[in-house]
Chains A and B, each alone.
Chain A
Amino acid sequence: MTVATDLSVTIGSLKLRNPVVTASGTFASGREYANFVDLSRLGAVVTKGVSLKPWAGNASPRIAETSCGMLNSIGLQNPGLDVFTQKDLGWLETQDVPVIVNVSGHTVEEYAEVCRKLDGDRRVDAFEINISCPNVDSGGMVFGTSCPEAASVVSACREATSKTLIVKLSPNVTDITEIARAVVDAGADCVSLINTLLGMAVDADTRRPKLARVVGGLSGPAIKPVALRMVWQVANAVEVPIIGMGGIADAQDAIEFMLAGATAVAVGTANFVDPTSTMRIVDGLTEYAHSRELHKITELIGALEV
């Protein structure tokens, strides 16, 4: 007799029913996916980035397709914390799924203020602090590419909330393990990586950049090898759990990230390609665990044989 594998994983004080979560900005708050995804079968929903005040985002075109991937420069367009609290949290409350709110800010204080205002909200289970968006002029990646800056954002957020604090790291650095150590020392319970890689696309016919902002963030299967490498490096550098992401499109990709050291995995661009991607990955993980007779999915974490 085989026993069903325990798929649950733990991130800080948050227990997820399985390791599969959504990557911020590719899933809104989940409502649009209700026709395609059973939200109660997700490990968690990671929301689109929320800032204290509304952000207008960047000029169009905001995306460009590239080989095995896409560039985006959306620019964190969002209606601000008040609208998010009213509309999105109100809806998410009716869904049986943990909620991780992704937080953006122009200044240290703006990040902390969002955490402070939501700290007492029982509809929020954790925060993911975005110090790695490559598409804004102030805030975002500016904080995520310097150890002192990253630590200052995380310290301020740590003071503002007792909820689980996840920090999303940028791959656009020389040594991601330095930043990982800095944010863990500043109080992060978990790190998520990688955000998009800074890239660019050019139209040879028009001699113009394909993105209005010229540069943008590369995502999709094209970045998976870079993401895996960074997850592996960070797993060897810090003790906290890792949410791995970057080009995950099927269960095998997810397993690879867990073997490299990720406790959970986030699915991003794949949601655009196949809106049922997260469900396929949960099913695939379940099948894999069953066929390998795993008692717990956590047996995969960092089980890479080097």
Chain B
Amino acid sequence: MTGCCGTGEKGHAGDQSSLERVDLLSNERIAEGVGLMILHAPHTASLVEPGQFVHLRVGRGRDFILRRPFSVHRAHGEQIEILYQVLGTGTLAMAELGCSDDIDLIGPLGHGWDVPENIDHALIVTGGLGAAPLGGLAEKLAAQGVAVTVAMGAPTQERLVGRDVFEAVTRRVVIATDDGSEGEKGFVTGPVARLLDEGSYDMVYACGPEVMQREIASMCAKADVPCQVSLERLMACGIGVCLSCVVSTKDGLKRACVDGPVFDAGEVCWDASEIPPKH
């Protein structure tokens, strides 16, 4: 049972992670049930790689005690952006945080997106809030001269979050919405199937509801295109200790917090069902 452990080789929160007191610069609702938080977090901002996350403490009280993991949407200068969905009591409290509130985070954490040196054309696939860990990646790929195509899916036009970031780096943004309020009506898997048929992509990067990621993974396997996914799990420690966030892989159980959250899609055992987290 390799990978079945709490202290594997890959084992610990990046050596550079630290507990950082941060200032909240802004916290706005940008769509129904979606917030964008901008934090002054110089340590994390200087080190974070696309796809990594921070473990945020949103309250000093003891009512809800666990931190919440959020991927860093983008980092610029000394600031990081966090896109979050208001789903439970914790994120509801998060939406009410103001600039004077006491916030800290542990970061940067986890294993982010792998960007091989020899890729020419990448396809980014987002489903709803799945855009969160992909903003910084799109910028990095574009800066490296990689041609980027983005396929975005969301319930409605309003909830196509992160769109500005993608449109700033590529004109090839394809959209699908559940209600047809913009782009093709239906799931993002429709346009992705066509893109995979037409294009020759060296890598697909996907994040969204797990059922979507699973479908994209299967499509990429058939098209013989490597694919990476960012998986969401409930976490307590965020640094590889508690074994709450395990993901079933072909090498046994791995921890989303240190071995992920980004995994090679071919490595994940998609049949091991997961109930979507709500926090």
What does DSSP make chain A's interface, helix, strand, loop or mixed? loop
Is B140 an interface residue when CB atoms closer than 8 A count as contact? no
Contact (A63, B244) CB under 8 Å given A29-B7, A70-B236: yes
Give the residue name and chain of the B residue nearest to A276 (CB): B19
Interchain CB contact under 8 A, A28 and B233: no
8 A Cβ contacts from A88-142 to B? 88, 91
User: A34, A70, A79, A276: which contacts B1 (Cβ < 8 A)?
Assistant: A79
* In contact, A48 and B17 (Cβ under 8 angstroms): no
A56/B1 contact (C-beta < 8 A), A27-B241, A29-B7, A273-B57 known: yes
Report the separation of the CA atoms of residues A276 and B57 in the bound assembly, to the nearest whole angstrom. Answer: 14
A114 and B18 alpha carbons, distance in the complex (Å): 35
Interface size of A as a range: 35 or more
Q: Is the CB of B62 within 8 A of A249?
A: yes
* Interface pair A61/B4, CB less than 8 Å apart: no
Chain B interface bracket (under 10, 10 to 19, 20 to 34, 35 or more): 35 or more
Determine which residue in A31, A67, A68 has the highest number of CB atoms from chain B within 10 A of its CB, and name it. Answer: A31
Cβ-based interface call for B145 (8 A): no
- Asked if B237 is at the interface of the complex by the 8 Å CB criterion, the answer is yes
Stretch at the interface among B45-53, B63-71, B119-127, B153-161: B63-71
Cβ-Cβ contact count across A and B, 8 Å cutoff: 137
Does chain B have a CB within 8 A of A72?
Answer: yes
Q: Which B residues touch A271, using CB under 8 A?
A: 237, 241
Query: Among residues 1 to 43 in chain B, which have CB atoms less than 8 Å away from a CB atom of chain A?
Result: 1, 4-7, 11-13, 15, 17-19
Contact check, B278 vs A203: say whether CB atoms are below 8 A apart.
Answer: yes
Residues of chain B within 8 A of A62, CB atoms compared:
234, 243-244, 246
- B binding-site residues for A, Cβ under 8 Å: 1, 4-7, 11-13, 15, 17-19, 57, 62-67, 90, 106, 233-244, 246, 253, 258, 274-275, 277-279
List the interface of chain A (C-beta within 8 A of B).
25-29, 31-36, 48, 54-57, 60-65, 67-70, 72, 74, 77-79, 83, 87-88, 91, 203, 206, 208, 212, 220-221, 249, 269, 271-276
Knowing that A60-B275, A208-B275 touch, tell me 8 more A-B residue pairs with CB under 8 angstroms: A32-B241, A32-B258, A48-B6, A62-B246, A220-B62, A221-B65, A272-B241, A273-B66
